[in-house]
A and B are shown apart, each in its own frame.
Chain A
């Protein structure tokens, strides 16, 4: 019983938290891939930017990060739409490799700007350590984790409603299936591209803020998430938003559970190697089934 509770408290719940963060980030990556047809290396920086907007707003207002989140999402979206206008739109008809390179450049540029404006030292989003809430005597879940999981569930539900119930969401899926047919159907593809940036940047901002809320604020945080997010998108099937959500959860869980003492008393995998888990899953998936769990695009 104690062992089970320990498993839940220290491995399962952190795994779900991490998985939710990856999932939200991976949705943006997979949508960009499906609709704009390129791997966006700057997506991690979008997260970092969202975190720093939130941090700044928290210095000048007394609100909880969740209250500030919509405002920092909006700021992040505006910056990303500006970047699209300036740097991606001129390349819309260019070969994918040029756009990928552009995104790589933007990644470096945005990071430099962040480091210049906010500095490189570690910051805390919320001060101090919170005491976990104890439920049923033994289930210890920190309020932070509850907030993150609940918010992620709400956001995933919103994504689902957008994609399955709204005209624009269905058009996003249509364009992800076939941009040429979307155009032949009279779907205004620029509007869909804008919507994709709005959704991707909002979710990236949320994911980043959840991570910062759980840990801390630093300029490399988004970049460090890039690999697991790409792994999640590939695992779920590139271009498949539901796949990205499942992929994110799986990778987050596997990363955390890999250091559980499954055999004997030592961690199965030294926690220092956690980061390699996402990479291993990505490589195995590309070898075994490149279309991913949800039959995405093979590139």
Chain B
């Protein structure tokens, strides 16, 4: 059963329509990757889930409940957590305070969860009293993900979690994503490092100009010559970046 689904979503910013009918879903236990050229509307599609967009038509469901145009704060309370592409940490708060803010809507004791997050991201334990803004790019990404995971979300949305990271950190983040997923959290992520992402993904969607272009199993997309040609840096084409 789908944990999260978008059904023919149409919407944009103000009068500018960006999404012209996007459909996708994430099932229990899956990692689903969205790829596509810059400006295709990948980030916008994620914002559509969070009530950050005016949807003129289409619907969004969490489990079986419709959450179309639900206020952002309520969507979070329903257990959907989102790591935006940029500005995804509170730079002047310490690492630990960032994690506490991640647990803002929790009423119960979140200390055990925080310990789990520190286990998953050991560098954060060491830096927990440091202002998050002073950390390296890879560590900031860890803070952003750790913060989003404090709620033990039903589903985690990640927007380009490895953008701008060194290959070493990139590999590390991908392996953490896998670990989180193995522990039972379904993941929907946008990725520019499409090849690497599709390798760990169950399924993928290719978005172009605010519309679905291709979709299929991760491996199937990797093997598709057209997708490879356009988006995976096959032949002489540059990887969309």
CA gap between A39 and B100 in the complex, in Å:
29
For residue A240, which residues in chain B have a CB less than 8 angstroms away from its CB? 92
Can you pick out 7 interface pairs between chain A and chain B where the beta carbons lie within 8 Å of each other? A167-B104, A181-B84, A184-B72, A185-B102, A186-B73, A186-B104, A188-B73
- Shortest B125–chain A CB gap in Å is 19
Nearest B residue to A175 by beta-carbon distance?
B90
For residue A184, which residues in chain B have a CB less than 8 angstroms away from its CB? 50, 72, 76, 82, 84
Whether B100 pairs with A167 at a CB distance below 8 angstroms is yes
Q: Interface size of B by Cβ–Cβ distance < 8 Å?
A: 22
Whether A181 pairs with B87 at a CB distance below 8 angstroms is yes
Given A181-B88, A184-B76, A170 and B82 contact (CB-CB distance below 8 Å): no
Nearest B residue to A181 by beta-carbon distance?
B87
Whether B104 pairs with A177 at a CB distance below 8 angstroms is no
For residue A170, which residues in chain B have a CB less than 8 angstroms away from its CB? 93, 97, 100-101
CA gap between A183 and B70 in the complex, in Å:
13
Interface residues of B in 199-220 (CB under 8 A from A): none
Whether B76 pairs with A185 at a CB distance below 8 angstroms is yes
Nearest B residue to A168 by beta-carbon distance?
B104
Nearest A residue to B150 by beta-carbon distance?
A185
Nearest B residue to A188 by beta-carbon distance?
B73
- Shortest A167–chain B CB gap in Å is 7
CA gap between A9 and B164 in the complex, in Å:
57
Q: Mask for B76-90, Cβ within 8 A of A = 1, else 0?
A: 110000101001111
Max chain B C-beta neighbours (<10 A), residue from A180, A186, A189: A186
Whether B105 pairs with A186 at a CB distance below 8 angstroms is yes
- Is B58 among interface residues, defined by CB-CB distance under 8 A? no
Whether B93 pairs with A174 at a CB distance below 8 angstroms is yes
Max chain B C-beta neighbours (<10 A), residue from A174, A188, A189: A174
CA gap between A193 and B147 in the complex, in Å:
23
- Is A171 among interface residues, defined by CB-CB distance under 8 A? yes
Whether A178 pairs with B90 at a CB distance below 8 angstroms is yes
Interface residues of A in 184-203 (CB under 8 A from B): 184-189
